[in-house]
Structure 1
Amino acid sequence: MRIRARVIGGGIGGTATALALHKAGADVVVHEAHPDSAEDLGAFLTLASNGMRALAQFDADAAVRAVGFPLREMRVLDAAGEEIGRGPLGEADDPRLRFRCVRRGDLNAALQAEAVRRGVDVRHGVRLTAVEEGPDGVTARFSDGGSATADLLVGADGLHSTVRETIAPGVRPQYAGQRVFYGYTGAARPPGAAEQITMVRGSRAAFGYAVSPDGETYWFARVADVPPKAPGGWREPLVELLRADAGPAADIVAATHDAIFATDATEVPVGTPWRSARTLLVGDAAHAASPATGQGASMALEDAVVLAKSLRDAPDLDAALTRYEALRRPRVEHNITVSGALSRGGRPTGAPRPGEDDLVHLLDWDSTLAA
């Protein structure tokens, strides 16, 4: 089934969706409201093995492996700074599937450059204002007065999605119980091996850090009891909070002299409608979760593969979207629930994420999705 698709949002999920749809034979155009490809340079993220596996299905893993750095091992410290656990991350033995730590803006830029290299039309600088569905197509209307009509409109426009408002009016992201801070420093020299991420189970914060090959420490802190911001910024309040524990966290933040980025952990409520006849939400627009499980970007990359395969293998658009939702909803909503429990200080279920056992087959580009 060859379709015309318009993707709203040129971030990680939107550009990945465009790349996967393009590989499946769709005529696809991406519309990104920001004027360039790297609008969010501040935060970083970790792509897990499932995310790297998804990228490989539409041949974008090499472009992503050219940015950031791999992570092969995790170690865990307690509040006293003592090591309480260590083990491999994901499929660490396969270079293509190793976890990867990358700045969000660099990842956006790499994916968009790959899309443009393949001939995908990526358009910047105009914002979606309205969506109108009809029996023969769906029309997107933009802030410059222009419009575009396609068979399918994919809303990959993030946490505060305009497309979601047309499908699920009034649904808003919810606070998930923590504020998340990110920073970088070249001045700290924390302990740890190469290609290792260290997680600290502190008494007042969950803290993590990894050191890049050039010696820059990437760090984050997830804090429930957020201190007041000082006139000079977040550094001193965070250092004071982290000094309650031993270990490297406070010293890393104290050595951070550049900007510290802060954002609330938020989630889209489970059960939120994802689709109408010709419009579909993917990524954070559909199923944003708090960052506690570190799976947001990887889940969006999975979305891209499963949607492309559903459209490729189904007899019509309705069957494709129905199949896509049936395959994706249990898995991503389990992630919302588990990640939210971690952010709120609870204990998530130990049950495996739905679809985990069948994930390799589900993502395998050469396999067919059963009806």
Structure 2
Amino acid sequence: MTPVRTALVIGGGIAGPVTALALRKAGIDATVYEAHPAEQDGGAALTVAPNGLNALELIGAADAVRAAGRPVPGMVMGDGKGNRFAEFGGLPGLPASHVLARADLNRVLHDHAAANGVRTEYGKRLTGAEETAGGVTARFDDGTTATADVLVGADGIRSTVRGLIDPAAPDPEYTGLIGLGGFASGSGVTPDPDLMYFAFGARAFLGYWGMPDGRVAWFSNIPEPDAAAAYASRTTPPAEWLERLRALHADDDPGAALLRHSGAEDLFVLGGIDIMPPVPRWHRGRMVLVGDSAHAPSPSSGQGASLAIESALELARCLRDLPGPSAAFTAYENLRRPRVEAIAAAAARTNKEKSAGGPAGPVDPERMFGFVQRFRVDWDERVTA
């Protein structure tokens, strides 16, 4: 029986409520502390892949996530001229990936956590933490503190907890790509509702899929070697960005049509896309990292949310089965690090292909996605050191 009975979960994004739910399933009382004063609206769309949905089944949240999103089981990869070089309808035996807005996923997970007894405290920005032999105390910028047996850093790619665990921890790295997205209406482009399309254009990459209301959602990745320019891109007026996007995709099919029928009012600019390089230390003492604070692959992986969900369940398993934080955190890292770093490396290769106009060779869906999407967290298997 684990001696860990309570946990502070720092960060109320995707990893935070899932971690708290997983810990409760393991018999550990967890409270989420979120820096912002309320749930955050806006943000881009994301994919919860089959492996993420399978992990969500373990905490009873999969149905709510499916209801908030749209199933898109298949994928088409092609060039900017409309030529296709790979198409598949999903891997046999797996549920369909679901696409939904990040804000909707956050809302669904927080609602499910609250309904299952997880408390979230907003306006709690972490400033420091002190460990004792029997626990860890978090300090927040409003002058309050909270104490528990362990502290979990689910506070994202710019994690405060990561710096507390290791002041020499690396910072996020820029991928060389700027991310933008929007919606097209009346473009004449009618995607198959069961497919997501990825077009490697000569000057920029475009992904798109059909919406239930007839619009086409799209996102573009633009190569930009200057990191400072990429981060400054958030301040560029949307109308100016839209003109630039139309020029970059002017020779692309159907990119040109989609951009002509998109409005600046619907454009969102993610700016420079960052990833986490390998993080040397995932834990120290009674503190540990989960989700993007430990492993944030490029969005090209389609796995950021799903890997965070998997890691939350695996961390809870380890704390459930092993005697004390040190053994549990070590086992958790050993379980997770090889997988997340392999997926991050594959996504980095995809980023290079986006800048180069597409894959250099044939695409084998099972080889590319099987290892990633067929993974299942085995909650009933006991973790051993």
TM-score by length of 1: 0.91
Q: Does 1:251 align with 2:257?
A: yes
Seq. identity, % = 40
- 2:198 corresponds in structure 1 to 199
The CA deviation at 1:187 is 3.7
In the superposition, relative to structure 1, how do residues 271 and 146 fare at CA in structure 2: closer, same or farther (>3 Å)? closer
In the superposition, relative to structure 1, how do residues 98 and 272 fare at CA in structure 2: closer, same or farther (>3 Å)? same
Amino acid at match of 1:66: A
Residue 98 of structure 1, aligned match among 96, 111, 114:
96
Using the alignment, how far apart are the partners of 1:34 and 1:215 within structure 2?
34
Structure whose residues are more often helix by fraction: 2
Using the alignment, how far apart are the partners of 1:303 and 1:139 within structure 2?
23
Amino acid at match of 1:207: L
Query: Which segment drifts farther, 309-318 or 43-52?
Result: 309-318
| Count of paired positions | 364
Aligned residue for 1:243, secondary structure, equals coil
Alignment RMSD (CA, Å): 2.4
Using the alignment, how far apart are the partners of 1:264 and 1:329 within structure 2?
25
Using the alignment, how far apart are the partners of 1:46 and 1:356 within structure 2?
14
| Preserved contact between residue 279 and residue 295 of structure 2 (Cα < 8 Å) | no
- 2:187 corresponds in structure 1 to 188
Q: Does 1:29 align with 2:36?
A: no
- 1:128 corresponds in structure 2 to 126
- 1:165 corresponds in structure 2 to 163
- 1:239 corresponds in structure 2 to 246
Using the alignment, how far apart are the partners of 2:284 and 2:102 within structure 1?
30
The CA deviation at 1:338 is 1.8
Amino acid at match of 1:366: D
In the superposition, relative to structure 1, how do residues 187 and 357 fare at CA in structure 2: closer, same or farther (>3 Å)? closer
- 1:141 corresponds in structure 2 to 139
In the superposition, relative to structure 1, how do residues 17 and 186 fare at CA in structure 2: closer, same or farther (>3 Å)? farther
Q: Does 1:57 align with 2:71?
A: no
The CA deviation at 1:355 is 7.0
Using the alignment, how far apart are the partners of 2:37 and 2:238 within structure 1?
31
TM-score by length of 2: 0.88
Using the alignment, how far apart are the partners of 1:310 and 1:71 within structure 2?
33
For 1:112-154, what per-residue CA distance to the aligned partner results, in whole angstroms no more than 9, with x for missing partners? 0000011101111221111112221111100110000111111
Using the alignment, how far apart are the partners of 1:276 and 1:143 within structure 2?
23
The CA deviation at 1:369 is 2.5
Aligned residue for 1:344, secondary structure, equals helix
Using the alignment, how far apart are the partners of 1:271 and 1:125 within structure 2?
27
- 1:110 corresponds in structure 2 to 108
- 2:90 corresponds in structure 1 to 89
The CA deviation at 1:234 is 1.2
The CA deviation at 1:311 is 1.1
In the superposition, relative to structure 1, how do residues 343 and 28 fare at CA in structure 2: closer, same or farther (>3 Å)? same
Using the alignment, how far apart are the partners of 1:21 and 1:99 within structure 2?
25
Aligned residue for 2:274, secondary structure, equals strand
Q: Which runs of 5+ in 2 are unaligned?
A: none
For 1:145-175, what per-residue CA distance to the aligned partner results, in whole angstroms no more than 9, with x for missing partners? 0000111111111111111111222421010
| Preserved contact between residue 15 and residue 30 of structure 1 (Cα < 8 Å) | yes
| Preserved contact between residue 177 and residue 224 of structure 1 (Cα < 8 Å) | yes
